[in-house]
Structure 1
Amino acid sequence: MNKKLLSIALLLFPIMALAAGKNVKANDKAVSFIGRTETLADGSVRYDWVGTYLRTRFTGGNIAVIASETGTSYYNVIIDGKVTKKMKITGTSPQKYVLASDLSKDSHELMLQKCTEGEYGCTTIHSIEIADNGTLTPVEPKKRLIEAYGDSYTCGYGTEGRTASERFRLDTENCNKAYIPIMARYFDADYRIIAHSGNGMVRNWGDKKQQSSVNMSTRYTQLYDDFSTKAFDYNQRRPDIVTINIGTNDFSPTAIPEAQKYVAAYIKMIETISKRYDNVPILCITPHSSNHYLRAAIQLLKESTANIYPNVHFAMLMNNIINDDVDLGSDWHPNYQGQTKIAMTLIPQISKIMHWEVKE
């Protein structure tokens, strides 16, 4: 073989190798993860925060993941912007999960989105499997990024429940139908969610003590929700705006905490996020179901931060936007319609803060 032919062969080799190979490591440059994740020594990617998603573009008509799970997690499979199925991943041994098959062999975009919370399972994506003649290419990140801290309302707890009286089941949780992904789709933004159902800023739902030992104040700086307490190093892309929607559980029945303790923990969160993300705009949300104790605490927070944190904003109250008969899913949590109302209430406020355009 002459030198010219050898040079051409060497240039073509990486493409030929990719086309011939079936398995691509999860940490390949063609695969991106949005959310808090950890890349392991073998190229696997592990995570448990609700809403975490991977994206890639593939050809060849078929795509699958090799994944393992500490518990059970549900996932939305989204192909070319449309949810094609919701599937369950479970089992500690790596297994193959087919995401799409027999599609046209040209380019398709995959989004694999974790619907459920870390409390129920931590996922490891070991590799991506494609057709023998398939390829993977990266998907460009969106120009906007929203980061959200919250509780069950942010997680999408019970969004697929049929009635308010229906008890929660894991398969009724779907973060894609919660207000943050709804707003992200509206603004054509990526998002990251750091949220855990039942947790408050200082006190969790129904706790008989005024302060819970583990709460969102202890979780939000972690790499994982529930799998590990390893610290998050904030080495990811800076969000354009941060939302905080925490407080419903703090002021749930029994041992209501002192407002000052809630406010102190909230301000510490604001200061930490502001420092890590260079004074990113922060929108503090009063939950739609807030009682007078929580509203009083938020008012104290507003007074305590006035003229001190110019990056902090407060959303308008939205206590009268939900109709109990049609807007609620499992355990009296907002269903998709209720979550859409919350998103529609917040969208113009985010537009004002960020100068992002609104659409008809």
Structure 2
Amino acid sequence: MLVASASASAAAMALAGTSAVAGATTPAEDGVRTTVHTAGRVEDGGDVLRYSWPGVYFEGRIRGTGVGIVLDDPAADYDVQVDGATVATLVTPGRTTHWVKGLRDGVHTVRLVKRNDTPWSTSAFGGFVAAPGGAVLARPAARSRQIEFVGDSLTVGYGNLSTSRDCDGEQLKRTTNVDVGYGALTARRLRADHQINAYSGLGMVRNYNGGTPEVTYRTFYDRALLNVPGDVWQNPGTWRPGLVVVHLGTNDFSTPLNPGEPWTDESLAAAYRGAYGAFVQKLRTRYGPRTTILAVGAGPFAGHVEQVVKERADAGDRRVRYWRLDDTGFDYSGCHWHYSARDHRLLADRLTSFVADLPIRW
């Protein structure tokens, strides 16, 4: 298959709802969302969907010999998948329409997924476009199961495709792929739609090495557009996860306290437990009593997470469960000692097995 890029002016026309290719079909007349399936946190602008979180994906169906992907994104990378196979990786595509041509004439599924985290930027997707003589078909059905993953760089898939632990900024961007991270892998194995609401470097109350103390992960959790202060994601009513997996704490405790930070080891631990408990309550209020919340513990924060879960259970909330992450056999060969792609597969194996035995109300 050949992958080509249309001109910026053609992309602008497609984003505006007008096809730049004679005979092509664009979904923008009725709104992009009517012809694509997405479970991610998106802001619906009618002829364009805007988003920021990593791993946001769009799925569609077309009939014909080619499909165009309308994008406006100067920061993120994407994989394009047709009929289950990756046919292109788009590196910071900018404002353009990318074409996949040479398909057999017939019905095809197409999936676009944002590979990495770009919280400083807003991404925009203008829909799928069929090649001349083809058509954009009704969107694929949503999956009956939904899983939300909350985390930091370990959940983002930070540098998981790198062949070395030493990475510069450019290498980190190109080798981060959340779609081969443990969250996406677990969701696929459980045949579930998913959100990866993860932000590198942030913690529950303290960020990596005490950086940017004016914000934490909780500052951004409610947003769809991470770089827009005060933004609040509007759940269209279709996102009702049966499972929420929380893997936050590595940044809070992985580095020693610096002079000037407002913590002692004891007060940091107490603040972490208090904020974690409040965050779990936020999830419970948002999603209701049927959702299972899985709190992941690892390293120096495992005991604190376990204590929070015990307190919830003692208060009568038995759908908050604790899972101690088993990293036996991990090589941590991703950028800066993060999980490698192999580590993510091992973790997904173990998490999938654990989740499969939970009494989740999907």
TM-score bucket (shorter structure): 0.7 to 0.9
TM-score when normalising by structure 1: 0.84
Output aligned runs, 1:79-158, within 5 Å: 79-91=82-94, 94-98=95-99, 100-119=100-119, 121-137=121-137, 138-158=139-159
Cα displacement (A) at 1:237: 2.0
SS in 2 for 1:285: strand
Determine which of 42, 45, 48 is the counterpart of 1:44. Answer: 48
Cα displacement (A) at 1:354: 3.9
Output aligned runs, 1:1-360, within 5 Å: 20-25=23-28, 27-40=32-45, 43-69=47-73, 71-91=74-94, 94-98=95-99, 100-119=100-119, 121-137=121-137, 138-167=139-168, 169-207=172-210, 212-235=213-236, 236-255=238-257, 258-279=268-289, 280-287=291-298, 290-291=299-300, 294-308=301-315, 309-322=317-330, 324=331, 327-354=332-359
Q: More deviation in 217-226 or 143-152?
A: 217-226
Please give the per-residue CA displacement for 1:98-134, whole angstroms capped at 9, x wherever unaligned.
Answer: 2x21101101101100011132532111243211211
SS in 1 for 2:250: coil
Change in 2 beyond 3 A, CA 1:28/1:299: closer
SS in 2 for 1:261: helix
For the 8 Å contact 2:27–2:128, the answer to whether it is kept is yes
- Counterparts of 1:276 and 1:299 in 2: how far apart (Å)? 22
SS in 2 for 1:315: strand
Change in 2 beyond 3 A, CA 1:117/1:145: same
- Which residue of structure 1 lines up, in the alignment, with residue 7 of structure 2? none
For the 8 Å contact 1:73–1:122, the answer to whether it is kept is no
Note the aligned Cα RMSD (angstroms): 2.2
SS in 2 for 1:49: coil
What amino acid is aligned across from residue 276 of structure 1 in structure 2? R
- Counterparts of 1:144 and 1:253 in 2: how far apart (Å)? 37
- Counterparts of 1:355 and 1:46 in 2: how far apart (Å)? 31
SS in 1 for 2:98: strand
What amino acid is aligned across from residue 47 of structure 1 in structure 2? Y
SS in 2 for 1:59: strand
Please give the per-residue CA displacement for 1:84-106, whole angstroms capped at 9, x wherever unaligned.
Answer: 22211343xx32222x2110110
- Counterparts of 1:299 and 1:273 in 2: how far apart (Å)? 17
- Counterparts of 2:176 and 2:44 in 1: how far apart (Å)? 26
Please give the per-residue CA displacement for 1:170-207, whole angstroms capped at 9, x wherever unaligned.
Answer: 00110011001111111111111111011101111011
- Counterparts of 2:314 and 2:67 in 1: how far apart (Å)? 52
- Counterparts of 1:303 and 1:295 in 2: how far apart (Å)? 12
Q: More deviation in 249-258 or 342-351?
A: 249-258
| Runs (5+) with no aligned partner, structure 1 | 1-18
What amino acid is aligned across from residue 310 of structure 1 in structure 2? R
Q: More deviation in 128-137 or 102-111?
A: 128-137
Choose 1 or 2 for highest CA Rg. 1
Please give the per-residue CA displacement for 1:258-314, whole angstroms capped at 9, x wherever unaligned.
Answer: 211111111111111111111210011124xx23xx123223323332322211000
- Counterparts of 1:190 and 1:22 in 2: how far apart (Å)? 27
Residues matched between the structures, number:
325
- Counterparts of 1:177 and 1:128 in 2: how far apart (Å)? 23
SS in 2 for 1:154: helix
SS in 2 for 1:234: coil
- Which residue of structure 2 lines up, in the alignment, with residue 15 of structure 1? none
- Counterparts of 2:219 and 2:360 in 1: how far apart (Å)? 33
Cα displacement (A) at 1:342: 0.9
SS in 1 for 2:350: helix
